[in-house]
Chain A
Amino acid sequence: MDIQLTEEQEMLRDSIQRLLRDQYDFDARRKIVATEDGWSRKRWTAFAELGLLAAPFGERAGGLGGGLLASMIVMQEFGRRLVVEPFLETVVLAGGLIEEVGSQAQHEEYLPDIMAGEAIWALAWAEGRSRYDFHKVATTARRRGDSYVLNGAKAAVIGAPWADKLIISARTSGEPRDRSGVSLFIVDSHSVNLHLQSFKTIDGRRAAEITLKEVQVPASALLGKEGEAVASLEACRDRAIAGLCAEAIGAMAELNSATLEYSRTRKQFGVPLGTFQVLQHRMVDMFIALEESISLTQHLNLALAANEPQGSKLASGAKAKIGYAARFVGEQAVQLHGGMGMSDELNVGHYLKRILAINIQFGDPAYHLMRFAGAN
């Protein structure tokens, strides 16, 4: 099995590569990360103009109908260039949830802005005590007349400081650890009584802790069926994992080629580093790690696109396997670059940091290993 890209998909990939080559080299990325906001609206607009933000959505919703494979192509290229803009958060997570479980009215109200690059979204599901489980929700949403009132706190919400809209999981019934009774709400990020505390993430993005005190939203803010958010979030996570794995293989490919190049040119004891057998074998293992990860990523994306029943289990398997592989590649790339690998000036450490964040997002490799084994 090797995905043969269609002509359209090839064009999509080429156009992203061209855009990123022109506007997103490592130096440009560094400048974007160092700005007050930490992301570039100009680049986001360019992504929209290129059609990237509309690519995965179905034609019925006004998208280009590229589906998961379009996301995979985008994320892989974004992984190569360490793009910080919230494609995953806005398009894959929020856009995906709205498209999958939103009402016709919600489609019409929100999807066009997402595809046009006019709205940034973030998904707030984690809480201080939730670790990686969607059902461990203590935040509450009480029905009051024609509205819901939200109270509680959400943790480490990636992209929240940039977001216009948030999707927040909150409990409409049951106990804090019940699987049922969790619902999703679309909340304006500037709502009264919604408070953000922003911080920088390990991979140069922005995230926030969110507190909600008597935040009132209309009943129409409910996204999907009341009390059934856990299943929606799990399906959303599968799609997110497919994207994150693609991003990871983009990063791994760059690390491997940088390490290989370095080992050919850098001399120690009068000979290139690459002549040392112990380092050759290390790089062979890095190569194998990447090849396996590419295969699993393709396998997962095809399975999810075809709605295969084992898709969700496979997503966890891929998250675990690729997580371990990417981490190995990241750590060894730093090690083989020696002191240079520790320097903030070189891109290698930044790839390792992105890989670390990928591993935490939606559950670390150990969590997904256990889920793959059927333990949770």
Chain B
Amino acid sequence: MELSLSKEDTAFRDEVRAFVAKNYPPEMRVPNPETDLTKEQSLLWHRILYKKGWVAPLWPKEYGGPGWSITQRFVFEQETSRAGTLPPLAFGVTMVGPVIYTFGSEAQKKQFLPRILSGEDWWCQGYSEPGSGSDLASVRSRAVHDGDHYIVNGHKTWTTLAQHADWIFCLVRTDPAAKAQAGISFLLIDMKTPGVTVRPIITIDGSHEVNDVFLEDVRVPVANLIGEENKGWTYAKFLLGNERTSMASIGRSTRYLNRLKQIVKAEIPEDDPALGEFIRDIARVELDVLALEATELRFIAQMSRGIDPGPAASLFKIRGTEIFQCITDLTHRAIGNYGLALREHPASANIFMPGPEYSQTASEKYLNSRKLSIYGGSNEIQRNIIAKAVLGL
């Protein structure tokens, strides 16, 4: 489905399409980019976009954004995801960047924004803690004033790609007496500071994407506090809003759906009764994608007219993740007996995997995608949000 684009927007779409086709690094086209690339490899595309001035579509021009309209941003997102590119790491560009230019000091803007754009600093997110889950406000990590420093102690978990990170943005408790949401502050911490330790968490798909991050007597300059002390919750919520709207992932679902159709065609013979099952299931998901995409386009159109979808945006997280889980499930089922195999990590070790090329990441994709309905506020929490904030229940 396409937006009805103006002449200028059509020209822009063609420009983006041509740029991606010409410049996306072939070495980033590996079976599973999220887990198979080295830090340097995964930054290649980031740097190309940076040179072009396209790395941060969301950012205002004065901070280095391209100054695109909402429609242009959408077109860019659609083109790059349809082409199967690995987007620049969200933690810097999409998450902490906007927090810094919206709530940060001039010095912070100068220090951090250019390095986020260039890819010099790799950021990770210090929100979750053991026992906190979707209840982020229950944060227990403590930051105590000591002259012009905070002394931070705590334990962050599920920290994505912290093994590569130069910086971590953290929610910490600065006022233990205050109620849950009050008393939280938003701190930027250099990962090289003494007392910061990263421990890998291996997930059920066998990959190392997430980590525990331990903070023991970590000295953080007060200058690294975002905005005001004890107001961190406001900034955190602002950031989460950005996170949820980007979770419809239509481009990714469309790509995997097309691949699924090819796999079914190759794997399941015409006379197999299972073929009918797959055709029906695939048609259902295709309609789910179509409906979600139409909803996204409708919301985009509203936003261009200045109407904020607000908490209804949670529906993109819910449906986007459920759709993708359904596609990875169908793909795993489509490959039959080869679904028994699970690729070993690291992928660079070149360990024998049976079956056709398209079958080799099906197990890990299915397993990895179980996280989608859990992280970023579980889908149960998203439904609570809509029930409360949209339906008024």
Q: Show the binding face of A for B, using Cβ within 8 Å.
A: 126, 128, 130-132, 155-156, 158, 197-203, 207, 209, 266-270, 276, 278-279, 331, 334-335, 338-339, 341-345, 349-350, 352-353, 356-357, 360-361, 364, 366-367, 369-370, 375-376
Contacts and interface: CB of A to CB of B under 8 A. Distances in A.
Please indicate which of the listed interface residues B131, B202, B337, B380 has the most CB atoms of chain A within 10 Å of its own CB: B337
28 contacts: A131-B268, A132-B337, A155-B337, A156-B354, A197-B354, A198-B352, A199-B341, A200-B342, A201-B340, A202-B340, A202-B363, A209-B354, A266-B133, A267-B131, A339-B371, A339-B375, A342-B374, A345-B201, A352-B370, A353-B367, A356-B339, A356-B366, A360-B337, A361-B340, A366-B274, A366-B333, A367-B274, A369-B277
A84 to B, nearest CB: 13
A343 B268 CA distance: 33
Given A199-B351, A200-B342, A200-B344, A353 B204 contact: yes
Contact of B374 (A126, A341, A350): A341
B352 A199 contact: yes
A276 B380 CA distance: 10
Contacts of A267: 131
Contacts of A207: 340-341, 354
A270 B135 CA distance: 9
B304 to A, nearest CB: 35
A366 B277 contact: yes
Given A201-B341, A268-B135, A370-B277, 12 more contacts: A131-B336, A132-B337, A156-B341, A156-B355, A199-B352, A200-B344, A202-B363, A268-B138, A335-B370, A343-B202, A345-B202, A360-B337
A325 to B, nearest CB: 15
Please indicate which of the listed interface residues B340, B353, B374 has the most CB atoms of chain A within 10 Å of its own CB: B340
Contacts of A198: 352
A360 B380 CA distance: 29
Interface residues of B, number: 46
B158 A279 contact: no
A110 B206 CA distance: 38
Contacts of B201: 343-345
A130 B338 CA distance: 11
A239 B370 CA distance: 32
**Chief secondary structure at chain A's binding surface:** mixed
B148 interface: no
Interface string B312-342: 0000000000000000000011001111111
Contacts of B374: 334-335, 338-339, 341-342
Nearest to A367: B274
B203 interface: yes
B267 A376 contact: no
Interface of B: 128, 131, 133-135, 138, 157-158, 201-204, 206, 210, 267-268, 272-274, 277, 332-333, 336-342, 344, 351-355, 363, 366-367, 370-371, 373-375, 378, 380, 383
Contact of B273 (A130, A158, A344, A375): A375
Contacts of A270: 138
A35 B203 CA distance: 19
B203 A342 contact: yes
Contacts of A334: 204, 370, 374
Contact of B371 (A209, A279, A342, A344): A342
A276 B351 CA distance: 44
B367 A343 contact: no
Contacts of B339: 202, 356, 360
A199 B340 CA distance: 10
Nearest to B281: A366
A269 B204 contact: no
Given A335-B374, A370-B277, A376-B273, A202 B342 contact: yes
